[in-house]
Chain A
Amino acid sequence: MMDSILLNIENVSKSFDRNKVLKNISVNVYKGENLVIFGRSGTGKSVLLKLIVKLLEPDSGNIFYRNKNLNSLSAKEIIQIRKHIGFLFQSGALYDSMSVRENLAFPLKKIFNLSEKEIIEKINKTLELVGLVSAIDKMPAELSGGMRKRIALARTIITEPELILYDEPTTGLDPITSKEISELILSLQHQLKMTSVVVTHDLICAEIIADRVIFLKDGEIYKEGLFDEIKQSNDLFIRNFFSAKILKDVGVSDV
């Protein structure tokens, strides 16, 4: 089992000033799995994802990617590792000054030695995957929220990374698109043997893609297990999380 661990997070803590966000978190991510991270707003899910690509550094603890400790790697080696990891930002983070085409070309140009023609082919293929070929010459400001999300997704998967970190890939999308995106993530895992870590509040999305689920609460791992186990759990906090979500989905309450 040991050699199929892709990512190994060991006793990681992170605070901002006096705000202790993550407390001694340990998580393993196995090759080829889809791990879903649940948790209420502000529990440090985005912070956890950023630690994995070293956008933030832990106060203590270690993160190993393919058994290499991120803490002890040089800036160059970190860039090498980042080439294998895709990151979908919660906000999309599309480059405002670039068209959709340039946004998608950006990571390709920086990482691979592709010809102009190969780049165009890859861009078209990826836009087809997310169903937005027609947006190729638009600027990000001209896109709707859901379109931005899908373009951001396209930009993340275009380099075919082996690990993708999704920060709320379906938030703000209508249920149908949201289901399509979830299915897309699942099919990427099957087709390209990608590994995914998905932060989400969306139970439909989680149900479609999750192999395993981790529940974060107050900066600690509250519960960990297979999706179905967690869903059947009698734990009050988890039951509340699930039922609040269901109410929210039909527009009864706002959590």
Chain B
Amino acid sequence: MNLPKIKHSMNLSLTEKLLNFFLLLSGLAIFTIHFFKEMLVPPYEIEETKKQMYDFGLKSLPIVGTMGIIIGFVLALQSYFILEPFGATDFIPASVGISILREFAPILTALLFAGRVSSGIGAEIGSMKVTEQIDAMEVSGTNPFKFLVVTRVIATTFILPLLTIYVIFISLLGSFLALLIEEQMNLIYFFNSVTSFLDLGDISAGLIKTFFFGFIVGIVGAFQGYTTEGGTVGVGRSTTTSVVISSLLILLVDMILVKISMIL
């Protein structure tokens, strides 16, 4: 794997910065291809993958849960104030449900996950890089790319959809609470109203993209970590860049996927 070299310096011109950005993207593309090559060949580090999944999931539960309940609550409350004058509050559960499922839960969970986990992966692998721990793995007959990168990327790819499902339930609960307070809505009515309007398309449209988002979080963090140079300063740079790049890519991919799903 030959990655393009990026020059870091305090005073780069605008063209140099743009060039760096494209170098970074092309490096990321090469890194991703390398990932698929390494992923397919044994040995598989199953233990380490499980450990990372557990770790990423558990670490993110409190923050995405808190976000979920608030988002659900606020969405329902806002819809209530808009629709109440028209006497159309019956539609709230369905409309809020669709928004949460298709867009809010997937994208917001992914962005928080990027902030929490992409940076963590960037920092961990980055500090292992600058303190020669990756070299040490390599000389002890382990393939560090498999052990560190493949395991973490697989873990983020499969744990984010699960987290999103969790957030969907929590935000629906938040919406229900808001409606319970405003309208004394009963749970059965709420539940029926949400499910009668949703079809499989809404659920799959929301969930399929979270696999892409999870992959982005893992691969960007790992890429930043793996290419860290320049001691602890470099580790700091990798950490922040991981969050910025993965968040941007998540938004970009979301836009593309929404566009594609509208054409289909």
Chain A residues with CB under 8 Å of chain B are 50, 53, 55, 79, 82-83, 85, 87, 89-91, 93-97, 106-107, 110-111, 159
CB 8 Å contact bits of B82-107 with A (1 = contact, 0 = none): 00000000000000000000000000
Where chain B touches its partner, the secondary structure class is helix
- Determine whether B184 belongs to the interface, using a CB cutoff of 8 Å to chain A: no
Q: Which of A91, A97, A110 meets B124, CB within 8 Å?
A: A97
In the complex, chain A residues whose CB is within 8 Å of the CB of B143: 79
| Assembled-state Cα–Cα distance A68/B179 (Å) | 75
B62 within 8 A of partner (CB): no
Contact string against A for B residues 130-170, beta-carbon threshold 8 Å, 1 for contact and 0 otherwise: 01110111111111000000000000000000000000000
**Which B residues have a C-beta under 8 Å from some C-beta of A?**
124, 127-128, 131-133, 135-143
Residue of A nearest to B136 (CB): A93
Q: In the complex, are the beta carbons of B135 and A82 less than 8 A apart?
A: no
What are 5 inter-chain pairs, A to B, with CB distance below 8 A? Answer: A79-B141, A87-B136, A93-B136, A94-B133, A111-B140
- The residues of B that contact A82 with a CB separation of less than 8 Å are 138-141
Q: Are A85 and B131 in contact (CB-based, < 8 A)?
A: no
Per DSSP, chain A at the interface is loop
Distance, CA A137 to CA B136, complexed state (A): 21
User: In the complex, which residues of chain A have a beta carbon less than 8 angstroms from the beta carbon of B127?
Assistant: 96
Most buried by B among A82, A93, A95, A159: A93
Residues on the B chain within 8 Å of A110, using CB: 140-142
- Residues of A with C-beta under 8 A to B140: 82, 106-107, 110-111, 159
Question: How many Å lie between the Cα of A110 and that of B141 in the bound state?
Answer: 7
Contact of A107 with B132 at beta-carbon distance under 8 Å, contacts A96-B127, A97-B124 already known: no
